[in-house]
């Protein structure tokens, strides 16, 4: 399959989801592009578009290590609700980024990349370095945990 063009601004959104901080996200975004430019100048241009996301991911993880760490706790999970889209509509992107950035690795990366809606299944596995059952479980649990958080934050208005 031919490689697709990748909107460069999605890389910034990925960094923002990972860090929930615009300034830090910009810093990682710029650092990633700078390294790509340096490699390209040395005739060693990044091998593919996934390189940008892998590189940004590790930078985000490094940046994240310096701040507060998410505790490994079993978050409450709820079944996905039909009314979830209306709950999500009421959210600000910043709120979702805070929730994602608080998830433990590698769930954080998996969710951030998945909801960017830029990658196919194989690419997701490649960037997250996960096995299919692991990725599946992280995404499934992530949805349910986010639904539980939505229910706690913005209670459902069942029709």
Partner 1 sequence: MSAIQLSRKEKMLVHCAPIREERVDDRALRTALHRARKTEAFAVQQNFDTAVAALVQSIPIPEEITDWIPPDTFIAPRRRRWQKYAQNPAFLATGIAVLVIAIVGIFQLVERMNRFPGETTARRLLTTASSTHAMMLDPVKTDAGALGDFLFMKHRLVRYDVPPEFAELKTLGCRVFDDEEGQRVAQIWVVEKKMQFFLFPAERDPKTGKAREFSGWRSIEQEHWAGVVKEDKGVCFMATLRGSAKDLAQYVSKKKE
Residues forming the site for partner 1 (CB under 8 A): 1-9, 11-13, 16-17, 22, 26, 29, 45-49, 52, 80-82, 84-85, 88-89, 91, 93, 96-97, 114-117, 119-122, 124, 132-133, 135-137, 139-140, 143, 146-147
Residue 43 or 71 with smaller CB distance to partner 1: 43
Residue 105 or 137 with smaller CB distance to partner 1: 137
CB of 64 to partner 1, least distance (A): 18
CB of 71 to partner 1, least distance (A): 23
Separation CA 35–CA 26 (nearest Å): 14
Residue 71 or 89 with smaller CB distance to partner 1: 89
CB of 92 to partner 1, least distance (A): 8
Long-range contacts of 27-35 (CB under 8 A, 24+ apart): 27/63, 28/56, 28/59, 28/60, 28/63, 29/56, 31/59, 32/56, 32/59, 33/8
CB of 8 to partner 1, least distance (A): 5
102 Cβ contact partners less than 8 Å away, ≥ 6 residues apart: 20, 70, 108
Separation CA 80–CA 103 (nearest Å): 18
């Amino acid at each position: 399959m031919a490689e697709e063009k990748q909107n460069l601004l999605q890389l910034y959104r990925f960094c923002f989801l990972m860090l929930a901080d615009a300034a830090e996200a910009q810093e990682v975004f710029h650092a990633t592009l700078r390294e790509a430019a340096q490699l390209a100048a040395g005739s060693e241009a990044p091998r593919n578009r996934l390189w940008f996301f892998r590189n940004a991911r590790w930078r985000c993880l490094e940046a994240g290590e310096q701040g507060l760490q998410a505790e490994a706790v079993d978050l409450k999970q709820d079944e996905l609700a039909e009314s979830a889209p209306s709950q999500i509509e009421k959210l600000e992107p910043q709120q979702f980024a805070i929730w994602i950035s608080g998830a433990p690795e590698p769930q954080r990366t998996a969710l951030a990349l998945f909801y960017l809606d830029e990658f196919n299944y194989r690419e997701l596995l490649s960037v997250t370095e996960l096995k299919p059952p692991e990725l599946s479980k992280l995404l499934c649990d992530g949805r349910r945990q986010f639904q539980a958080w939505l229910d706690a934050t913005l209670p459902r208005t069942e029709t």
